[in-house]
Structure formats: structure tokens, C-alpha cells
Chains A and B, each alone.
Chain A
Amino acid sequence: MRWFLRIAIALAAAVSGPLAAQQSLPPAPLAYEQLPDAEQEAQAQALMETLRCLKCQSQSIADSDAPMAGDMRHQVRTRIAAGEDPEAIRAWLVARYGDYVSYAPTVSETTWPLFAIPGLLILIAGMILWRRLRKQA
């Protein structure tokens, strides 16, 4: 059991050492602090879950402990506390990083096939089925 502990401690030190050396500033004030107003916090949370972390791909900023994601959460909460509309904040970020930063699907010039193809496939499948059933009858 002792060797296991020793390995665990060595691993923890190896992982946490570089992290600690990386940044010395504390997290942004509202990175881990909820807004006092429950309704505003719910709005902020919903928005943060659909914004992509720019440092750690495939995570939302609500999920990520990257300092930059913390700064983004701080910005989202500050703006919502100031009365800004969540979709306006999303639009502000999309204007800077493109659709990449948003997880909310939108129909655009490049994404419309994603929405059109499933409908088309169902239509084709329905037509094939209809023809087969009619032949059998």
C-alpha cells in the first residue's frame, strides 16, 4: 500500500508543479463566484455552458479551469449583472472569434446542410418504404 501512496504523491507533485509555476495571479473575482441574484446567475450559467473554452477545446467555459475560461466567466457574469442580454454577449464573442466560440447551433450559409440532410434522408426513406409496401399489396 505504501508504494502506491508514494507513486500517487510523486504523480500529484509532477502534475501540480508545472501548473503552479504557470500563473501566479489569483482567478478573476467572478470566475468561481456566483452572482447574488439567482435569476441572473441562472442566465449566466446557461450562457457559459454554451460558450466554448478557447484554451481547452471541446470544453465549455463553465466546465474548464483554464485561467482564460475563468476570465471569460468573469466577463459573462459582470455583463449579465450589468443587465446585458445573454445573446448580446454571445454575439459580442462571435464577432471576435467566429462561430467557433459558441456551442449553440445556428443555421448559416455553411451549416444549413446539417439541418437539411436529415429531413431529406427521412423523406427518401419514406418514399422507398411507401413504394415497397405498395408493391407488396
Chain B
Amino acid sequence: MKGVRMWVPLLLFAGFCGLAAYQLTQPKDEFIESTMIGEPVPDFNLRPAIETRPGVALADLKDGRAKLLNIWASWCVPCIAEAPQLEALQRQGVPIVGIAIRDKPEDVARFLANYGNPYTRIGADDLSEVQLSIGSSGVPETFVVNGDGVITYQHIGDIRAEHVPLLLQELAEAGA
């Protein structure tokens, strides 16, 4: 009996090491999800990021139509990767409102000339204030906002082709 009990601490220690080793091999979840899902977008008013599109204010989100709110920037490389998907969504009639983070008008214009402009409006968020107010932690991120200005879904990272059906479904549920 005593011989068996002697091994208990070692077994416990080995079990702990095993657990730690297992956790180390697990892929880390780097995404910081917004806790604003189901909450209304706080009030804001952003100047236009380029001349050819108007800026964005909260009232523009509350026009009764569900839409995509795309947080992006011209200096963001994955934003180039998601451009074709945004274009496809726009062609299907989805209203897409853009918020450009820390960006200059000339850089925004160059990006849109190169990769297409799927946006109805683009606001310039020079101090990341709107981004912080909706719990977004990077670019690109895409929020589904319903016609009352309430966030119903958050997509973190670039939109790939396989994400489009889910976004369309979320938009339909939000009442597009």
C-alpha cells in the first residue's frame, strides 16, 4: 500500500507536465471577439475618407436596411485579399459601408483604384475611435449591422470566398 502511495506525487507531476505539453501543441486562438454583438453602434460622425464618397455617421447605419460595416485600411495587406469578395457582395446588392483606419485620402484613392470600390460611404477614423467603440481590434473586420444600427455579427480577418454564404445568411437574418 505504502509502495503505491509513494508514486502518487510523481504521477500527479507527470500528469501536469502532460497537460502542459498538450496545451502547448494546441493552436492559439488569436482572435479578440467584440462583446458588442447585439448592442447598438455608439454615436459617431466621420468625415469622408475620399472625395468621391460621403462620410459615415450613425444615422447612415440606421436607415432601415441591414448592411456590412467594413473596417479596413489602405495599408492593410489582408484587405487586398478580401477586396474581390466585397466586390461580389456589392454586386449582389449588399450595401457596404467602409471605415478607413488611420488613412490618408490619396492612399485610400490609390487602394480603391487598384482593388475596386465596393463602398457606398467611407468614413475616415483617424484616431481609431469608432473602431474602439465597437470592439474591433484590427483590420480587416466586418460587422453586420441591422437597419436599427444594432450589431448582429462580427467577422474577424479577411473575407474569403467560403465566408460569403454565411455573411449573406447573417445579413438575411438581420433583415436585409
Contacts and interface: CB of A to CB of B under 8 A. Distances in A.
B138 A75 contact: no
A24 B107 contact: yes
Interface residues of A, number: 23
Given A25-B104, A54-B137, A100 B32 contact: yes
B103 interface: yes
Contacts of B133: 96
Contact of B132 (A23, A57, A67, A72): A72
A98 B29 CA distance: 15
B35 interface: yes
B135 A96 contact: yes
Nearest to B76: A22
A72 B132 CA distance: 8
A121 B126 CA distance: 51
Given A21-B75, A24-B107, A100-B32, A71 B135 contact: no
Nearest to B28: A57
Interface in B39-94: 73, 75
A100 B31 CA distance: 11
A71 B75 contact: no
A35 interface: no
B173 interface: no
Contacts of A24: 75, 103-104, 107
B128 interface: yes
Contacts of A93: 132
A98 B39 CA distance: 14
A57 to B, nearest CB: 8
Contacts of B33: 98
Nearest to A98: B35
6 contacts: A22-B75, A23-B102, A24-B103, A24-B107, A57-B30, A93-B132
Interface of A: 21-25, 28, 54-55, 57, 67-68, 71-72, 74-75, 93-98, 100-101
